[in-house]
Amino acid sequence: MDRQTYNARLADLRELRGEVAQAEKAVAAAQATLDKLTAQRARRVAELAGYEKAQAAPIAKASGLSVAAVVRIAPLLDPTPAAVREARPAAEAPAPTADTATPPQPEPVGTAAPAMTTAVAAPQPTPAVEEPTPVVEAPAAVSAALPVSAAAVARGPRETEPGVQAPSSTVVGDGEVRVLPWIPEGPAGDRFAAVTSGLVSKRPNFVQQARATVFLDAATGDLVARDHTLRLSLGAKTPGEILDAVLATAPGTERIYITDGAPWHLGAERYSTLKDAVAAWLNIPSERWTTATGRGKDKLAGHFVHQRQPVGRYAPTAAPDGDMVEIRSVGEWFDPDGADPAIVRDAFRLLWQALRRHWDDVVLMGSPSQTGRDLWSRTIPTKGKWAGGYPVMSEELRGLLHATAGQGRTELVLPPRVPAELPALVEYDRTFAYAKHTWKSGVGAPQRITAARFAALPEKEQVKALMSCSHWHVRVTVPQGWEHVGLLPAPAPGERNWVYPATGGTQFTTWAGGAEVYTALSNPIAPWRIEVLDGLVWEDGKPIDDWAKQLKSAWADLTNLSTVHGDERQRTAAYLASRAVRSILLFGIGGFAQRPRTVGGSTPVGEPLPAGVEILGQDDRVVTWQRSTGFSRDPYAHPEWAAGVWSGARAALLSMKMREDNVSVGALHVPAGSVVAFRTDAVYVTADASWPYHGQPGEYLMKGHLPGPVPAPTTEEELLALRDQGRAHLAAHTAGGSR
């Protein structure tokens, strides 16, 4: 094959890639439609099961399901005589059917947790990623709550070989949802309640080096370098042209923040996905610049391909191992919302000044996640029990938390659980929400609390364990007659998706944090039945409390400055800086979760690619790729802390006590049928709840109000459109309305 033929075949392959992408989109759309119809069928089957004379056989015939599948959705319709069910040996499993995704296994024996009806408010126990981490706050696709069947909870064999986890899965309708891991018995299970040998989080003994930074509006060409503003000619706005223009004007620049213009989206219409367009832009060839390979041990630096906040790392072609220059989006820190580069520069100045009051060696690093981690490391105690550093959990436990500890709750409640026509749509958003849940976190190696051990504890000790920093494997039963929203997450199709079953009588098996389990047991309506199958309980500590307190103080100072400063531009800069502090805490917490690491790089065309890579893009010169390297030996990996914060925040969406006002707030404190949606730290309801607000972290701020009648949203797009209308209406009718 000659070069001409090779290039021609490459062109053909690119066309084929587009056709494949279109076909994949069509399949995904069809699958989404199928999933929606399947979920709708499951809901209707569950509704029919509520009729006292309902029978499984006619419902199965009408729905096109087998009787077994109908029973999985609605266990109350099981035609097996009760005496036969009770007499069936525990080890006996029914024969697999065509509707069974995996062969059913015996149900694990659990121990019922005590109902804590004396308390209402959830406790306050407490987002990750490599570079940058805007995805921490971004919600997953909105999905309706589905009824989940008890009879479909399955367990795999106790242990097939050392270290292998048997799955715990829940079936929705006639298909299996995501399989969750569980803790095996024996030595393999002991590793889950252990720490990684020789790996601890230690206070650094060095000071970070600041990098020369400039701010560029790629739409106008305006560049702010220190105290100078210049207008540059950026040509076609390729990376090489941007680097040439900036370095010619501001030599020594090491970091370029793009404040507006998103040059990586230029020509995006030519690509099947936005990610492909970004990858292609990052790798536009230049005679003077090449992809930076990193320094020291970081040989796979390369570019970070993200749809909206990519990171380009470049080095001079003449010295590829020399100084690196980054091109980044300021959107990692905050949405500039039209602010010019000078205001953005001032926001970073104010941010540094506010943080320096608490950390005299503060350096603003490339992303809020990196900055948050660095600042936290400088709060690690030098005295006391943890002076030597905080131990890092075992890889098995980090993997378990990665699979079973979700982030923000994202759910759209559909009719008939809400009216088809809403009297209003009111958005309540929790201010600086995660900062409310950092006062207590688990430290050290956890204790494993099996079902048998939990049963042996006095009730007082059971309550204490559930209120501690903990993570529980539980079987959940929704009370009969329950009409409100779901309280605990159940695994749903997709890598990290969750649903919140709310139909009375539904049973499911899941993992949940102590804060959520406590809320389910102590909620103000009716206690849910929780059976403990297994659990991990940490010693209560305050490893991130000082860090969070100092960030909250900086946030409060900047928030106050954004309202009292006499200069409008400085008020805007202070507001943006306060948002940056929020990002430092938010993404810093996400950074503790330490997802399996993804690294990227590029290889010249024709050279062999590293093993196990995913190709992101290719041009005539280089192939851009990424690959997962699993869990690294990261001394700052603490997913147990991130999981605790996320669990506490989800619990507070349901119920939270405002002690100063002696008022309980949250979704469970509005009437059933009036909660329309949850989005991370916001709840949407059908009426003004009149919850008090003092501007403190964790409090509910009314952020939007759209008078009715309003058609109930049935998709995420419809919800977001109504949200924007509600915010605009509130802003037009009040002097406030912003957070």
Tens of pLDDT, residues 654-672: 999 999 899 999 999 999 9
Q: How far apart are CA 249 and CA 2, in angstroms?
A: 44
**Would you call 300 exposed, middle or buried from its count of C-beta atoms within 10 A (0-12, 13-18, 19+)?**
middle
Q: In the numeric block, which tokens belong to residue 373?
A: 């981690």
The phi and psi torsions of 677 (rounded to 5 degrees) equal -165, 160
- Structure confidence at residue 388 as a pLDDT band (50, 70, 90): confident
Q: How far apart are CA 500 and CA 143, in angstroms?
A: 10
In three-state secondary structure terms, 223 is strand
Which H helix or E strand runs over 537? strand 529-541
Q: How far apart are CA 56 and CA 58, in angstroms?
A: 6
In three-state secondary structure terms, 697 is coil
Average pLDDT of the chain, as a whole number: 83
CB 488 within 8 A of CB 411: no
- Structure confidence at residue 632 as a pLDDT band (50, 70, 90): low
How many CB atoms are located within 10 Å of the residue 419 CB?
Answer: 17
- In the predicted structure, residue 442 carries a pLDDT above the cut 80: yes
Q: What confidence score (pLDDT) does residue 603 get?
A: 76
- In the predicted structure, residue 252 carries a pLDDT above the cut 70: yes
- In the predicted structure, residue 623 carries a pLDDT above the cut 50: yes
- Sign of the Cα pseudo-torsion (415, 418, 424, 425, in order): negative
Among 597, 599, 589, smallest CA distance to 625 is for 599
Per DSSP, 218 falls in state: T
Q: What confidence score (pLDDT) does residue 619 get?
A: 66
Q: How far apart are CA 500 and CA 413, in angstroms?
A: 10
pLDDT one-digit tens code per residue, 528-559: 999 999 999 999 999 999 999 999 999 999 99
Q: What confidence score (pLDDT) does residue 164 get?
A: 33
Q: How far apart are CA 711 and CA 693, in angstroms?
A: 28
Q: How far apart are CA 145 and CA 333, in angstroms?
A: 33
**CA trace torsion 80, 86, 90, 95 (10° rounding):** -10
Per DSSP, 304 falls in state: B
Q: Which residues share a beta bridge with 474?
A: 510, 532
- Structure confidence at residue 125 as a pLDDT band (50, 70, 90): very low
Among 332, 303, 295, smallest CA distance to 209 is for 295
End-to-end C-alpha distance for the chain, whole angstroms: 62
Complete DSSP assignment for 485-496: ---S-EE-SSSS
Per DSSP, 688 falls in state: -
Question: Per-residue pLDDT averaged across 389-411, rounded?
Answer: 93
- Of 247 and 135, more confident: 247
Question: Per-residue pLDDT averaged across 258-263, rounded?
Answer: 96
Among 279, 352, 298, 291, smallest CA distance to 325 is for 291
In three-state secondary structure terms, 426 is strand
Specify the length of the chain in residues.
739
- Structure confidence at residue 67 as a pLDDT band (50, 70, 90): confident
- Structure confidence at residue 713 as a pLDDT band (50, 70, 90): very high
Lowest mean pLDDT among 33-42, 254-263, 434-443, 552-561: 33-42
Q: How far apart are CA 363 and CA 360, in angstroms?
A: 9
Among 348, 303, 309, smallest CA distance to 329 is for 309
CB 256 within 8 A of CB 325: yes
DSSP strands (E only) in 218-291: 222-225, 228-231, 255-260, 289-291
Question: Per-residue pLDDT averaged across 589-604, rounded?
Answer: 76
CB 124 within 8 A of CB 136: no
Residue 285 identity: P
Q: How far apart are CA 436 and CA 301, in angstroms?
A: 35
- In the predicted structure, residue 633 carries a pLDDT above the cut 60: yes
Question: Per-residue pLDDT averaged across 245-257, rounded?
Answer: 96
Q: What confidence score (pLDDT) does residue 356 get?
A: 97
Q: How far apart are CA 638 and CA 456, in angstroms?
A: 30
Q: What confidence score (pLDDT) does residue 50 get?
A: 64
- Structure confidence at residue 128 as a pLDDT band (50, 70, 90): very low
Q: How far apart are CA 222 and CA 215, in angstroms?
A: 8
**Parallel, antiparallel, or unpaired: how do β-strands 663-665 and 656-658 relate?**
antiparallel
Q: In the numeric block, which tokens belong to residue 379?
A: 């709060």
Question: Per-residue pLDDT averaged across 684-694, rounded?
Answer: 96
pLDDT one-digit tens code per residue, 312-354: 999 998 876 778 899 999 999 999 999 999 999 999 999 999 9
- In the predicted structure, residue 613 carries a pLDDT above the cut 80: no
pLDDT one-digit tens code per residue, 169-183: 444 444 455 678 889
- Structure confidence at residue 36 as a pLDDT band (50, 70, 90): confident
Q: What confidence score (pLDDT) does residue 175 get?
A: 47
Residue with tokens 């709310």: 502
CB 485 within 8 A of CB 500: yes
- In the predicted structure, residue 506 carries a pLDDT above the cut 60: yes
Q: How far apart are CA 518 and CA 516, in angstroms?
A: 5
Q: What confidence score (pLDDT) does residue 281 get?
A: 94
Contacts of 347 (CB under 8 A, 6+ apart): 334, 339, 572, 573, 574, 576, 577, 580
- Structure confidence at residue 631 as a pLDDT band (50, 70, 90): low
Q: What confidence score (pLDDT) does residue 513 get?
A: 96
Q: Interhelix angle for 568-593 vs 341-356, to 10°?
A: 60
- Of 403 and 145, more confident: 403
Q: How far apart are CA 146 and CA 43, in angstroms?
A: 7
Q: How far apart are CA 408 and CA 141, in angstroms?
A: 12
CB 263 within 8 A of CB 242: yes
**CA trace torsion 507, 511, 512, 514 (10° rounding):** 110
Q: What confidence score (pLDDT) does residue 27 get?
A: 78
pLDDT one-digit tens code per residue, 265-302: 998 999 888 988 998 999 898 999 998 876 544 444 67
In the chain, pLDDT over 70 holds for what percent of residues?
80
pLDDT one-digit tens code per residue, 192-222: 999 999 999 999 988 898 999 999 999 999 9
Q: What distance lies between CA 612 and its chain's CA centroid?
A: 26
Question: Per-residue pLDDT averaged across 148-169, rounded?
Answer: 32
- In the predicted structure, residue 91 carries a pLDDT above the cut 60: no
In three-state secondary structure terms, 731 is helix
Among 83, 215, 107, smallest CA distance to 155 is for 107
Residue 395 identity: E
Per-residue three-class SS string for 74-112: CHHHCCCCHHHHHHCCCCCCCCCCCCCCCCCCCCCCCEE
